[in-house]
Amino acid sequence: MKPKDTAADRHLADAFKALGHPVRLAILRRIMSGEPCVSQLQGCLGQSQPSISQHLGVLRDRGLIVPERRGNRTCYRASHPHLADLLAFAEQVLSGD
């Protein structure tokens, strides 16, 4: 008998899928070290504005980041302060050391 999926399991799986892309991980790391807008992310990651916006949409839709309007710009912050801990823990567990 296969285990039944719950909404919480699907939500967690979707969040981990969002973290499964190197550009989204890089974006999330930048967001955790400040509250950048799209143009700042574009400059430091070398990605196009449409690409950054698409990745931000995935992270936002999965509940990992929160947009905040500042004048005519939208800046982003991590949705939870423990996201940095989660990434650090995942790196430690998966580093192979």
SS3 category, 95: coil
Going residue by residue through the chain, which has 97 residues, state the pLDDT in tens, using 9 for 90 and above: 566 779 989 999 999 999 999 999 999 999 999 889 998 999 899 999 999 999 999 999 999 999 999 899 999 999 999 999 999 999 999 887 6
pLDDT of residue 95: 87
Position 4 scores a pLDDT of 72
pLDDT at 2: 65
Task: Identify the CATH number of the domain defined by range 14-94.
Answer: 1.10.10.10
Q: Distance (Å, rounded) from C-alpha 66 to C-alpha 75?
A: 8
In contact, 65 and 76? CB cutoff 8 Å: yes
CA distance 24 to 89: 17
